[in-house]
Every structure is written in structure tokens, then in C-alpha cells.
Amino acid sequence: MGVRVVFPDMGKDPSVQLIEKTITENGTYDALTDGANGYSKVNVNVEGGGGSSDFSTAEVTVTGVLSPDLPTTLEVNVATVAIPPIADDGSSVPSGVWIIGQTYKVILSKGKARLYVVRGTLTIPSGETNITYDSDDVYLITGDCTITIS
């Protein structure tokens, strides 16, 4: 057995309520049962635990041209796992505004996360393979990658 945490799909709603959760026993945990839409941080301390995990991380670096005539931010919503990305300084980014020159750590569930572009234009640099366009302003992140705000 192991710990299995169930995260609801956030969709495109940036107003989700996230809470911290401490887990000390094996089992299935659902954020909705805890009165929230997801977990902002999960602390697991299960004696004798171990085994494989469905979760990993990817670093997404944001590039672009800093110019008064061009946008410098991209408003996004990362879903599949209801955990906000983490900025370089270790803080979470629940507002979903990504800034040129920053790197964000995104939680992957079973090797992927969906990135919804709410406002702004995202370009995938030539040769980048760990982020692909899915459909309707949705991108699929599968590993460390670079995106460009244009």
C-alpha cells in the first residue's frame, strides 16, 4: 500500500482554495473531503513508507524581450495537480502570473501537467520537446523546458 492523494481538476478557475495537509497514515485523501479544492503543500510522514511516486517536478524557464512595447508577464493556470508552481525564491505562485527571467517548478502527475494560458501569448522555442501545444490555449508540460512570452 502507500499514500494516494487525489487532486481535483482545477480547470481554468484561478480562485481555487488550497490547504496544507499532513499525512501520517497510508490511505486515500481527497481535498474536497477536507473542505478545499486542493493541497498547497502535502507533508507525508508514514512509518515504513516508501515505494514509487506518481509525482515529479519540472522547471519551466520564462524568457522574452524586456521592452515597454511588449508584454513581460503571462497569466497562466497549471492544472492536473492542484498545487501551484514554485518560484525561484521558494514561494508559491497561486496568482498564476509568470514573469520574464523567472524559473518556476511545476508539479507533474504521472509525468505531466497542463498549462492553461489565461492571458498573454506563449511561444515554444524551436527544438523544445518537453512542452507541446495541446488545444485551446492548453499546453502539456512533460519535463524541464523553456517558454517565451511574446
Question: Residue 108 belongs to a domain with what CATH number?
Answer: 2.60.40
Range of the domain at 101: 55-149
Q: How many CA atoms lie within 13 A of 125 on its CB side?
A: 13
Average pLDDT in the 90-107 region? Answer: 76
Quote helix, strand, coil % in the chain, to nearest 5. Answer: 0, 50, 50
Indicate the pTM of the whole model: 0.57
**Domains of the chain: total:** 2
Are 35 and 86 contained in the same domain?
no
Are 26 and 76 contained in the same domain?
no
Buried b (16+ CB within 10 A) or exposed e, 51-66: eeeeeeebbbebebee
How high does pLDDT run on average in the chain? 76
Are 119 and 83 contained in the same domain?
yes
pLDDT number for residue 37? 79
- Which residue do the cell numbers 514509487 mark? 52
pLDDT number for residue 18? 79
Are 38 and 105 contained in the same domain?
no
CA distance 147 to 150: 10
Are 95 and 144 contained in the same domain?
yes
Going by pLDDT thresholds of 50, 70 and 90, the confidence category of residue 137 is confident
More confident call, 31 vs 131: 131
Are 84 and 113 contained in the same domain?
yes
- Tell me the three cell numbers of residue 35: 473542505
Q: Is residue 73 part of a domain?
A: yes
Contact 144, 130 (CB under 8 A): yes
CA distance 42 to 89: 19
Predicted confidence (pLDDT) per residue in 26-67, tens digit: 778 877 788 887 777 887 877 765 666 788 889 999 888 776
